[in-house]
Amino acid sequence: MSIIIIFVALIGLWILGVLLRRFISGPMRWIFAGLLGFLLATLVRYRAFPFLHGDTILAGGKLVPTAEWSVAMAKFFYLGSAAFVLIGLVWLVLGSAWAHRIAKTEEAGAPKI
């Protein structure tokens, strides 16, 4: 079942990447990256990847139980995805405010008829 979930997620991401490439701006890419990071964190948290099905995993030169490792890595990915979404939202808001400010100054400088 986990292979099917990963396969469907990858196909969906490929379709979104190809079809929406022209329409996605910089801030939206950050937001989508954050959402995809959230998806990756969820897949790691519930050990959907085949290499997480074993009892232990080699991390930092030590054998660590995959249950502990997956929880720690999921927290890392959740924090990273939240940072990406936050950066994208801030960039989107600041860009919108900047565009609004530029439009206002251009409007003020236009000759009145």
Note whether residue 94 is domain-resident: yes
**pLDDT tier, 49 (very low <50, low <70, confident <90, very high otherwise):** confident
Range with the poorest average pLDDT among 22-31, 46-55, 67-76: 22-31
Tokens of 29: 């890419």
pTM: 0.72
12 located within any domain: yes
Res. 21: pLDDT tops 80? no
pLDDT for position 35: 87
Specify the pLDDT at position 109.
63
Domain that holds residue 75: 2-107
Q: Is residue 91 part of a domain?
A: yes
Other CB atoms within 10 A of residue 38 CB: 18
- Is residue 111 predicted with pLDDT exceeding 70? no
Listed in sequence order, the DSSP H helices in the chain are 2-19, 26-45, 66-109
Are 43 and 81 within 8 A, CB to CB? no
> Which positions ≥6 away from 19 have C-beta within 8 Å?
none
> Looking at residue 4, what is its pLDDT?
75
54-99 per-position pLDDT tens digit: 888 888 889 999 999 999 999 999 999 999 999 999 999 998 888 8
Residue 113 falls inside a structural domain: no
Which of 11 and 31 is assigned the larger pLDDT?
Answer: 31
Residue-level pLDDT at 1: 57
2 CB-near residues (< 8 Å, 6+ apart): 47, 48, 49, 50
Tally of domains within the chain: 1
Q: Which residues pair with 56 in a beta bridge?
A: 65
Dist. CA 16–CA 29, nearest whole Å:
11
Q: In whole numbers, what is the pLDDT of the chain averaged over residues? A: 82
